[in-house]
Structure 1
Amino acid sequence: MATTTQLRRAVASSYLGSVIEYYDFLLYGTAAALVFNKVFFSSLDPLVGTIASFGTFATGYLARPLGGVLFGHYGDRLGRKKMLILSMTVMGVASFLIGVLPTYAQAGWLAPALLVLLRVLQGVAVGGEWGGAVLMSAEHATTRRGLWASFTNAGAPSGMVLSNLVLTATTVVVGNDALVQWGWRVPFLLSVVLLGVGLFVRLKVDETPVFRSARTRPPAPLVDVLRHHPRSLLLAIGVGLAAFVVQSTLTTYLLSYGVQQGIERQSIVTALTVSSALAVAGILGWSALSDRVGRRPVVLAGAVLMAAYAFVLFPLVDNGFILVALVLGQSVLHPMMYGPLAALYSELFSTGSRYTGASLGYQIAGLGAGLAPLLFAQVQKSTGGVAAIPFVIAAFCLLTVVCTVVLHETSRTSLTGDGDAERGTGQLATPPGAHGADA
């Protein structure tokens, strides 16, 4: 009973923590697409201002691998729980401070400079959060690891729903003009309330039994990953990269593009909120299926279908079907690529360096989410359209297909012990003929 109770607490804590982290992190993406180009880059041409706004958005993703290494190191040495409390605190404080920043009109260049600094802190925090949150669920689970670990990934669209609901409510109350002037601050200031709730829940979760029973803890987990798991790390990056490119295309770039096409801003935010809410079910459903048929078949199917869908996405938006475009993309196809990654990444590394390895692989792949809107905005500016963008998305999906084919099936790998990630031994042994990624 104690084990079941702790699993439930761990899953709830991971999900809620992820919701809060991504509320803060993705709120910035929505604000970058709709508001920040006017608030912090008002002296620039509108399209150039949008590119600059997406540039600051990208800095958060660039900082995420650093957070993965820093929090991963101490999470592998001192424990998952301590680092998760710290990551949540850093994120909440940074988001609150964004809400009190001066604008460009008030402070000149200092305003965007401080914005970039706080965005970096956000990136470091979320870079440390994901790996620990996934391991809190995965290392407490004895069965259905794909499902339980995916609650952390489900926190991302849930955080998007929450941030959009708060942003929508703020817009309704204060109006569009006031939103640009000062209303955008309200969702960021509310972060301090969410921080209090999240810390209350997280403090009730015990350290994972897998970490407590680990036989060895490498003094330098990053060195251990690079020395003993280099192939796993590279394949993890390749498997996840397309999922992140698609994620930010759907949740960030498409917002800006839709506004340019004359679609009402609130209609886009509403469509994104609906598709994000449905994406939670998609992530949990496809991840549960990966427990039955394996991680690879689900991810492969998602990558192939998304490559084809990329060529339909923009015509749908051009014709005003923004809700259909987002629901099919974000709620159905993207979760196939994204949901199983939580368990898959944790299954590629041994206990002593799992936090570092899973975090680093995930966050380096996550650079695709930060750089894609910036890249696509540049492509649109230089070519005068979006015709080339589906080919870029399809190329990333092809990379995922190749890396997933090369990768061994991980769904039956044990997380107990120090070497089980490579050998596939232990409680949930790898079937005969399957080998670790670095074997």
Structure 2
Amino acid sequence: MAMTYTATAAPPSLRAQARKASVAAALASSLEWYDFFIYGTAAALVFNKTFFDTGDPVVSAVNSFATFAVAFAARPFGGVIAGHFGDKVGRKPVLITAIVLMAVATFLIGFTPDTQLIWLAPTFLIILRVTQGLSLGAQWGGAMLLATEYAPENRRGFYGSFAQIGVPIGVLTGNLVFLVLNGTVGEPAFLAWAWRIPFWISIVMLGVGLYIHRYLEETPAFRAAETSLASAAKSTSPVLEVVRNNFATILQAAGTFIVVNAIFYATIISSLQYANVVLKIATPQVLLPILVGAGVQVVLMPVAALASDIFGRLRVYAIGVVAIGLWSVPMWLIFSQATPQNTVPIWVAVVVASALISICYGPQAALFAEMFPPHVRYSGASLGYQIATVVGGLTPIVMVALIDGELGNAWRFAAYVVLLALVALVSVGLIHRGHNNTHGATSKGIAPTSRSTAETW
């Protein structure tokens, strides 16, 4: 069954609640992504030299990134579980649960024991990393819906972007902490113990969960769906219902996101390993452009999202996909020209890529929300997003394997990104065609707003 809703002027109290919800979504997502990303940075800089050192830099990197990637296998399961309860019980309690779970798991990673028992540390890391993946799989849908379902109808893209900017803020804060520690205590102390500090900091997330619990109500869209749905519909599983009725939409959503996710992790994670091992460039020289790129995203994501409110989601998103595909080849050719004495190519490659990612990621929350009916929206949007992240999570391993420590092999990974961009562009086209065929909000679940999704294509 498809749900529809009509535009009404938001009262001042709801607009104030929308602003409060967007701030809460930004805080929650920023801290969740901080926790998730610091593991990736540690996998690139620390774990390959401590827990997974084999004497072969490529093998050590693959082993270290494998523990980074297991979280991405867990994220769809987190999305399924959270989607079920988020559509049944409410957005807020599921989001709070995800925040607490992430805070505890990340805090405990900081206590991974130094031990001669080779199996213990990797096992401990994998268990906690899987917990992080389950948490993040649950969190994204809750934060995204908290922002978009409170938003005024003609500004869903802009308000939804506040859940999205948590990603670059997480990158910015996580890398900044690593950069400061590395520069303050020196590499020997950093590898020995100081790397644990960023993980211990994550315990502050519990305060955000308490804030959401005390000061935010359930979203209006969930309350409306809860009162309007028949008891028979409510008794079914939202996950099973969205898979049965909107399976093609889930795959299309996932298809649009895979290239964005892949190039993102290549930019913030794989580039560190590539620069360190292949180009022999020190970590701070790479972290700085990544930090600046994250700052660019914080500014550009709301701008791109606002543009999608005006010109249409799919039009803006498609421009971003095409731009990423076109940039992927020169990006890695330019990056490969960097030397310890000249890191300008890294700055150009990373900052431009970060800007192009913003074009897609800014409006994505509203795009995914508008593709599914409210009563299965948490389930559908989470599944589409998290399925795509499995590909993104494998990106560091794919890049290491394709380049194989050889400077001249960077074009292989560039070709891989171009292929993913083609998949994304086809998916955008299918969403557009499906919208036209169903004339708005039907089985596709696209909300009938005047300037949303494909209506201004």
User: What interval of TM-score do these two structures reach, taking the shorter chain for normalisation?
Assistant: over 0.9
Alignment of 1:152 with 2:163, yes or no, is yes
Q: Does 1:180 align with 2:198?
A: no
Aligned to 2:363: 340
Q: Specify whether residues 204 and 429 from structure 1 end up closer, same or farther in structure 2 by C-alpha distance, changes over 3 A only.
A: same
Question: Which letter does structure 1 place at the counterpart of 2:364?
Answer: L
The AA in structure 1 aligned to 2:148 is A
| Residue range with higher mean Cα deviation, 168-177 or 89-98 | 168-177
After superposition, the Cα gap between the structure-2 partners of 1:237 and 1:168, relative to the gap in structure 1 and judged at 3 Å, is: same
Secondary structure of the corresponding residue to residue 203 of structure 1? helix
Q: Cα–Cα, structure 1 residues 398 and 424, in superposed 2: closer, same or farther, change >3 Å?
A: closer
2:111 matched to 1:100? yes
Amino acid at match of 1:253: S
Shift, 1:377, TM fit: 1.0
Shift of 1:131: 0.5
| 3-state secondary structure, aligned to 1:39 | coil
Q: CA RMSD in A?
A: 2.2
Query: Matched residue of 1:229: which SS?
Result: helix
Match of residue 221 from structure 1 = 238
Do 1:128 and 1:359's aligned partners in 2 also have CA atoms closer than 8 Å?
yes
* Corresponding residue of 1:53: 64
Q: Any idea what SS the aligned residue of 2:49 has? A: helix
Q: Which residue number in structure 2 is paired with residue 127 of structure 1?
A: 137
Question: Which ranges in structure 2 are unaligned for 5 or more consecutive residues?
Answer: 1-11, 339-344
Matched residue SS, 2:77: helix
Structure 2 residue aligned with 1:275: 293
1:112 aligns with 2:122: yes
Residue 66 of structure 1: how far off its partner (Å): 0.4
Corresponding position of 1:163 = 174
Say yes or no: does 1:353 pair with 2:370.
Answer: no
CA distance in structure 1 between the partners assigned to 2:430 and 2:414 by the alignment = 25
In structure 2, C-alpha distance between the alignment counterparts of 1:434 and 1:421, rounded to whole Å: 16
The aligned residue for residue 257 of structure 1 is: 274
Q: Deviations over 1:359-390 (max 9, x none)?
A: 01000011122011111111122877322111
User: 1:416 aligns to what?
Assistant: none
Rounded to whole Å, the distance in 1 between the matches of 2:428 and 2:200 is: 41
Letter in structure 2 aligned against 1:322: I
TM superposition score normalised by structure 2 = 0.89
Match in the other structure for 2:149: 139
Equivalent residues of 1:283, 1:336 under 8 A apart: yes
Q: Tell me by how many angstroms 1:194 deviates.
A: 3.4
Identical pairs, percent:
36
1:24–1:115 CA distance, 2 compared to 1 (3 A): same
Alignment counterpart, residue 253 of structure 2, candidates 236, 243, 251: 236
* 8 Å Cα contact 2:333/2:410 also seen in 1: no
Q: Which residue number in structure 2 is paired with residue 8 of structure 1?
A: 19
**Aligned ranges 1:66-85 → 2 under 5 Å:** 66-85=77-96
Q: Which residue of 1 aligns with 2:320?
A: 302
**For residue 303 of structure 2, what is the aligned residue in structure 1?**
285
- Deviation of residue 31 (structure 1)? 0.9
> How many angstroms apart in 1 are the aligned matches of 2:50 and 2:210?
32
Q: Distance in 1 between matches of 2:185 and 2:447?
A: 59
Residue aligning to 1:415? none
Cα distance in 1 for residues equivalent to 2:361 and 2:195: 29
**Residue in structure 2 matching 1:315, options 312, 324, 333:** 333
Offset at 1:291?
0.7
- Asked whether the 8 Å contact 1:348–1:421 carries over to 2, the reply is no
* CA deviation after TM superposition for structure 1 residue 408, in Å: 2.6
The answer to whether the aligner puts 1:377 opposite 2:400 as a matched pair is yes
**Could you tell me whether the CA contact under 8 Å between 1:295 and 1:409 is conserved in 2?**
no
Residue 7 of structure 2: aligned partner: none
In the TM superposition, what whole-angstrom CA distance separates every residue of 1:334-353 from its partner, at most 9, and x where no partner exists? 11122221111111111111
Unaligned runs of 5+ in 1: 413-418
User: Is the Cα contact below 8 Å between 2:28 and 2:208 reproduced in 1?
Assistant: no
Change (3 A) 1:31 1:138: same
Deviations, residues 118-138 of structure 1 (Å, cap 9, x unaligned): 000000000000001111111
**Using a 3 Å threshold, how does the CA distance of structure 1 residues 148 and 202 change in structure 2: closer, same or farther?**
farther
* In 2: Cα distance, 1:165 partner to 1:324 partner: 20
* Separation (CA, whole Å) in 2 of partners of 1:393 and 1:318: 16
Matched with 2:341 is none
Question: What is the count of residue pairs matched by the alignment?
Answer: 425
